[in-house]
Chains A and B, each alone.
Chain A
């Protein structure tokens, strides 16, 4: 079997099931609040519908606006190639690729923010400003979590940090790693624009963070952004699940089921959070992110004993 075969299969599995994650989260929320809700595959239908439509471009926009969705999705896919979804190895790996992971995602956001500013709309500018403000804090939390993994495993690439070396150290560093996993989950809520940081189901432009940046995108462009969002959700879910329970010693089939199970539980947890609390006031979001950064920090400190 060629060495890249298993990572490729797992990557395709994640890319294929990613649109289920927002669906599961919203279905969980519906069931917990006494409604029936949309089917879990709703996003597939939405993507299909959007892909068939034409896009409308404002005359004030330039090529930056059109390039943004493609750049975003490319960045998210590039980041996905760095993650060892099967628990062993990733499609691409090199020493320090964890930093690349954070900044490739950062580049995608940068592209989206430029696209938003390119519209010249006051809404999109407001959303871009909020997104960037929160993202600087989220980025710090992500790097701190990775630093904890680097110290735990002694590896500098995601393949090592989430692969066999992590599985070896896991029994000894369970507390730290669980803290890091919870911290990553908290960051996921911020990064993927979920309650308590953002509200994915609101129609009120003035309260939006992520959604307001994509108000002017339509058709296939919007589909690319929505799909990129789902993949990012899946990436964070898979990484948090891998930290909480490394699967390097599992058989490929068990590992695949473990991956899907982890992603499923992660989506459900998002749905449960969304149906049990209100969104934070915008000025308090940095405090929330500081809290999730602190979780990664505690994990790190425990490892330094």
Chain B
């Protein structure tokens, strides 16, 4: 970063915790804003209990164009002046901090509960019974013909729980409130308390459809703290697994979107190809979601030459089969008339609110960790960033289709030329009192894991951020002014994780 106020970090590069500048809380918002003025964005902001009565807020800025991260921190008491008025993209994070750490940001514009759980990262001497500032959770629009439609938390179909409340005028949605937290399991606490072995399993369960992404980010942060090195082969296998996960989910999403508009042929075809990609993950790891594959120091299963040939061959066949189905989906006018113009997210709101992943890229914001903060295999084998401009359902479908093509090419290339090396190297112990940030471009968007080690080389704080956390507000935004009957389609085009948000 150009401003001297921020400590320089990188993706998967650890620095001592003392290197983080401490600024007075009154200046934290301005420091973050200054960091963002040069093209950066607020990556994450979280609380770290420092002493019995003090909380340390750590803000991390990502400068995507330079591939750098910057960090700044501040010590606060149980009540502190909110930084959201100085730095609007901190709003969501301050809500999280208020709930997780029990600190009250005074002057926060809308301090609603986020997941509704008791604080589990609060400094020990704080009196947590006094929680103030909780605004009523639902928007209410009154009027003769305005009605309220409540959906969930139990839904038709096998999906996760979440409550949606629409304020509707006839078929038009005036406002959508999304209430989550039903899946809260205390993931961060578990990651901090459990043994390294068990924590790995927890990391793989953060979001069941992003096993590789979360496991890789988790390992990335730990490896940075331990200065352990992976072999090129391990990096390549992680890359293949990550892109297979992306392929399976993107193909499944295109099928599900076709299914939502009742376009049966594409729904059936993409549903089948999703299964084929999951089966390839099973070839590598023994299960369809890639659990148990990514481990600190590398991967626990090697890809034999026969397996590599099979993977390349099967993805090559997909490369032949998928384009006709995609042409069918994107060429069918009745499908495009459903996709176009539905659920728009503008470039301005992506930039203002820090949306990530497919949603950002479909609104012409080329934000992709694999490109901006390259790591592992992606330093050597670049995947072009896929973008679209309309920001609607059709753009999100198009970005998925472009990424499918590029991921297929990547997997074939990697499987045909796997580098040498041991799949797994020894991991070693964590350096004490350091902080490491690991970013991973999961199929939804960037997965962020921040690990702070304690004096004994254990894990003191493990911050997890799934892209869903940043993106649920985007769904509310996209639905306002839309048709209530288009909500399921719009929701599917985001396909956000409930568990990933709720942690």
Contact = CB atoms under 8 A, between A and B. Distances in A.
Nearest to B171: A282
Interface in A207-266: 207
Interface stretch (B206-214, B465-473, B485-493): B485-493
Contact of B171 (A33, A34, A199, A283): A283
B332 interface: yes
B151 interface: yes
Contacts of B335: 278
Interface of A: 29, 32-35, 122-123, 125-126, 129, 195-196, 199, 201-207, 274-284
B151 A205 contact: yes
Contact of B147 (A32, A122, A199, A284): A122
B438 to A, nearest CB: 36
B235 to A, nearest CB: 38
Contacts of A123: 149
Given A204-B488, A205-B151, A278 B156 contact: no
B64 interface: no
Contact of B332 (A34, A199, A277, A284): A277
B100 to A, nearest CB: 32
Q: What are the 10 A-B residue pairs with the smallest beta carbon separation, nearest first?
A: A204-B488, A199-B262, A278-B261, A279-B262, A278-B263, A282-B485, A33-B268, A278-B334, A277-B334, A203-B156
Given A278-B261, A279-B338, A282-B485, 19 more contacts: A29-B264, A33-B268, A122-B149, A196-B262, A204-B157, A206-B151, A207-B260, A207-B485, A274-B262, A274-B264, A276-B265, A277-B263, A277-B332, A278-B332, A278-B335, A278-B338, A280-B337, A283-B483, A284-B337
Q: A34, A206, A279, A280 — which one has the most chain B CB atoms within 10 A of its CB?
A: A206
Main secondary structure of the interface of B (DSSP, over half): helix
Given A33-B264, A126-B149, A205 B156 contact: yes
30 contacts: A29-B264, A32-B264, A32-B265, A33-B267, A34-B269, A34-B272, A122-B148, A122-B150, A126-B149, A195-B262, A196-B334, A199-B262, A202-B262, A204-B156, A204-B260, A205-B151, A206-B487, A207-B488, A274-B264, A277-B263, A278-B258, A278-B332, A278-B334, A278-B335, A278-B337, A279-B262, A279-B338, A280-B334, A282-B486, A284-B337
B180 interface: no
A134 B338 CA distance: 19
Given A122-B149, A205-B156, A34 B260 contact: no
Interface in B285-337: 332, 334-335, 337
B262 A278 contact: yes
Interface string B170-208: 110000000000000000000000000000000000000
Contacts of B484: 126, 206
A32 B328 CA distance: 14
Nearest to B269: A34
A136 to B, nearest CB: 16
Contacts of B261: 278-279
A207 B265 CA distance: 20
Nearest to B268: A33
Interface in B116-171: 147-151, 156-157, 170-171
Given A195-B262, A203-B156, A281 B486 contact: yes
B148 A203 contact: no
B284 to A, nearest CB: 27
Nearest to B150: A122
A199 B488 CA distance: 13
Interface in B478-503: 483-489
B47 to A, nearest CB: 37
Interface in B400-417: none
Contacts of A33: 264-265, 267-269
Interface string B250-267: 000000001011111101
A196 B337 CA distance: 12
Contacts of A281: 337-338, 483, 485-486
Nearest to A274: B264
A130 to B, nearest CB: 8
A178 B490 CA distance: 39
Contacts of B337: 278, 280-281, 284
A201 B260 CA distance: 10
Nearest to B272: A34
B486 to A, nearest CB: 7
Interface in B223-264: 258, 260-264
Nearest to B335: A278
A9 to B, nearest CB: 37
A201 B265 CA distance: 14
B480 to A, nearest CB: 15
Contacts of B263: 277-279
B483 A282 contact: yes
Contact of B488 (A129, A196, A206, A277): A206
A206 to B, nearest CB: 5
Nearest to A281: B338
Contacts of B265: 32-34, 275-276
Contacts of B332: 277-278
A282 B260 CA distance: 13
A131 B335 CA distance: 23
Nearest to B170: A129
Contacts of A275: 264-265
A275 B486 CA distance: 20
Contacts of B483: 281-283
A199 B259 CA distance: 10
A278 B337 CA distance: 9
A286 B272 CA distance: 35
Given A277-B334, A282-B483, A201 B147 contact: no
Contacts of A195: 262
Nearest to A126: B149
Contacts of A203: 156-157
A280 B267 CA distance: 16
A183 to B, nearest CB: 20
A8 to B, nearest CB: 38
B131 to A, nearest CB: 32
